[in-house]
Structures are given as C-alpha cells and as structure tokens.
Amino acid sequence: MALRMVYDKTMGFAARQYQSVLGNQLSQYGLRYEDLLIEEESAVAEALSNADSDVLISRTRRLKRAIDLGYKRKNLQDYAPDMELDTFKKEISLDIEKIKARDHEYAHLNAHNKM
C-alpha cells in the first residue's frame, strides 16, 4: 500500500513536469496537444470526420503555421507575442474516448463469434 502511494506521487510529479515541458514546446509553434494525434488511427480519423468544420479548419491552420515556423526556425512569440494559447484544450479527445469505448464494447459483445 505504501509502495503504491510512493509510486503514484512519483508518477504524478513526473507527469506534471513532462506536461510543463511539452506545453512549452507546443506553445513555441502554436500547437495543441490534440494536434499531435495520428490521423491514421481509426478512432482519431472518425472523431475528426465527425468534428465541426471550425475545429478542422483551426487544426489545419495550426499545423500549417507550425510547419512554416519550423522551416523558418522561428517561434510563434516572435510574430504574435501577446497571443493567448490553450495548449491542452480538449476538442476531440472526448469523442475519441467514446469511439474507443464503443469499439471495445462491440468487440467484447461479439467475442463469441470468433470461436
């Protein structure tokens, strides 16, 4: 029990540190964490296809801007120093979780067909 508490505290501290470092790296290019998700994954592709057009347009613009800034070796702060970024805003994560849960339930309910 005590070992579990030490493990949870250590992992919580490491997770916060990693999130801080990742957030700083993403904000240099104006990206969000969800922009890093791989579109070829079935749940992500379905969530993006069901997403609002504003979400898709803003995601595409952020990715293009990040590619451009990376090519120029610049930071977003060089061009827009007062821009407020919400690096860990969730727009499609909840949909992805629902799709994965649905697929898992479907696989579980149809497990008897594989015999």
pTM attached to this predicted model: 0.82
The number of angstroms, rounded, from the C-alpha of 54 to the middle of its chain's C-alpha atoms is 17
pLDDT of amino acid 52: 95
Q: What is the pLDDT of residues 73-110, one digit of tens each?
A: 999 988 888 888 899 999 999 999 999 999 999 999 98
Average pLDDT for 63-81: 92
Helix (H, G, I), strand (E, B) or coil at 24: helix
Specify whether the CB–CB gap between 33 and 88 falls below 8 A. yes
Token code pair at residue 91:
């727009």
Average pLDDT for 25-46: 94
Q: What is the pLDDT of residues 43-52, one digit of tens each?
A: 999 999 999 9
Specify whether the CB–CB gap between 30 and 72 falls below 8 A. no
